[in-house]
DNA sequence: ATCCTTGCAAATGATTTGCAAGAGT
DNA sequence: ACTCTTGCAAATCATTTGCAAGGAT
């Protein structure tokens, strides 16, 4: 995840300072909610407004720079777009971890969807439970 | 899905008229958002308040009568709780359909989660795309 | 009789919008 | 230069809360 400016320009948006700052925060945290992004971004750029964070997240999601990760009972988190993968969601500490393998089930999904004549565009898999860290305590 | 009163009482809640009405609407529609529930419920019971719908959805989710289905870019929908299964989410008409098979991947999930020492409590799979109806048009 | 639940209205929180000034290409 | 983007404040929308009255067990 080297060049944020390129990612943004390639999507058709202008590479503003605000967007690059937001992207770098998301990249650093992996999965993060809008208000968390704002809190983080404020530390280095106190004038960057919450409205700007909102506008940009929406914008970058619809331009395929970011992906929304909706989570039951919580606010959505956002991540930099990459191939579909599995999320481990800790219901205790609210952390989200990627499992970086191909979703092992895409063929099964396609078969199922095919039976229903459903045209797949993307898949989203959340596994809820307790992460190793929280299990200890 | 015969006896709403039983479902509610078994969960430890009182079987009020409002809860049974809400449950029957969810049952009828399968997957439905809070404001849609309210609109529907108002038709037969105009005095049932939106606050009551909110309170009861939250309550029945935490008492395991309902399950929240979070959807990227949309408001969550709610369904009557049953075994984990796959949702086909149409990004065109916003409909949600169940695929009523065991999630074909639970063993794969467990293996993956096991490698990470992650204790699974539930899984949530959304497949986004275009449903047969919308494909025609 | 007791405790839980409702409905209302108000409070809070989250998100969106309009617009003039400023930044990117 | 031109167009897109920002920041602010206000507007809007979504959700939660407190409390007195009513309902379920």
Provide φ and ψ at A13, rounded to 5°: -105, 160
| Cα B25 from Cα B4, distance rounded (Å) | 11
Whether residue B102 is found in the same domain as residue B128: yes
Whether residue A27 is found in the same domain as residue A66: yes
Tens-level pLDDT at each residue, chain A (137 residues) = 459 999 999 999 999 999 999 999 999 999 999 999 999 999 999 999 999 999 999 999 999 999 999 999 999 999 999 999 999 999 999 999 998 766 655 666 777 667 778 999 999 999 999 999 999 87
Given a contact cutoff of 8 angstroms between Cβ atoms, the answer to whether B31 and B96 are in contact is yes
With distances taken from each CA to the C1' atom of nucleotide C16, the closest residue turns out to be A51
Whether residue A17 is found in the same domain as residue A54: yes
Whether residue A37 is found in the same domain as residue A70: yes
Which of B39, B59, B79 terminates a domain? The answer is B79
pLDDT digits (tens, 9 = 90+) for B79-135: 999 999 999 999 999 999 998 766 655 666 777 667 678 899 999 999 999 999 999
CATH, residue B121: 3.30.1490.190
Nearest to B86 by CA among A94, A123, A75, A92: A123
| Cα B39 from Cα B29, distance rounded (Å) | 13
Per the structure, the complete domain to which residue B131 belongs is given by: 83-136
Widest Cα–Cα separation across chain A: 52
Nucleotides of strand D lying closer than 7 angstroms to a protein CB: 4-10, 14-18, 23-25
Whether residue A40 is found in the same domain as residue A56: yes
Whether residue B8 is found in the same domain as residue B65: yes
Q: Do B120 and A113 touch (CB under 8 A)?
A: no
Whether residue A21 is found in the same domain as residue A74: yes
Nearest to A58 by CA among A69, A68, A49: A68
pLDDT value at residue B100: 73
With distances taken from each CA to the C1' atom of nucleotide C8, the closest residue turns out to be B49
Whether residue B72 is found in the same domain as residue B9: yes
Given a contact cutoff of 8 angstroms between Cβ atoms, the answer to whether A40 and A63 are in contact is no
For chain A, the domain total comes to: 2
Q: Do A71 and B76 touch (CB under 8 A)?
A: no
CATH, residue B29: 1.10.10.10
pLDDT digits (tens, 9 = 90+) for B37-95: 999 999 999 999 999 999 999 999 999 999 999 999 999 999 999 999 999 999 999 99
Whether residue A61 is found in the same domain as residue A113: no
Whether residue A63 is found in the same domain as residue A105: no
Q: B122-137 burial string, b = 16+ CB within 10 Å, else e?
A: ebbbbbbbbbeebeee
Percentages of chain A per state (helix, strand, coil), in multiples of 5 = 45, 20, 35
Whether residue B43 is found in the same domain as residue B23: yes
pLDDT value at residue A107: 66
Whether residue A62 is found in the same domain as residue A90: no
Q: What is the CA radius of gyration of chain A?
A: 17
């Amino acid at each position: 995840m080297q060049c944020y400016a390129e990612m943004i320009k390639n999507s058709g948006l202008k590479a503003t300072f605000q967007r690059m700052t937001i992207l770098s925060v998301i990249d650093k945290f992996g999965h993060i909610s809008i208000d968390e992004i704002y809190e983080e971004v404020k530390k280095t750029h106190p004038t960057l407004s919450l409205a700007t964070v909102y506008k940009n997240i929406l914008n970058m999601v619809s331009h395929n720079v970011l992906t929304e990760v909706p989570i039951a009972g919580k606010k959505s988190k956002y991540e930099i777009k990459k191939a579909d993968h599995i999320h481990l969601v800790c219901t205790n500490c609210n952390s989200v971890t990627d499992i970086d393998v191909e979703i092992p089930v895409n063929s099964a999904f396609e078969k199922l969807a095919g039976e229903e004549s459903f045209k797949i565009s993307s898949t989203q898999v959340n596994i809820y439970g307790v992460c190793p860290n929280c299990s200890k305590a």
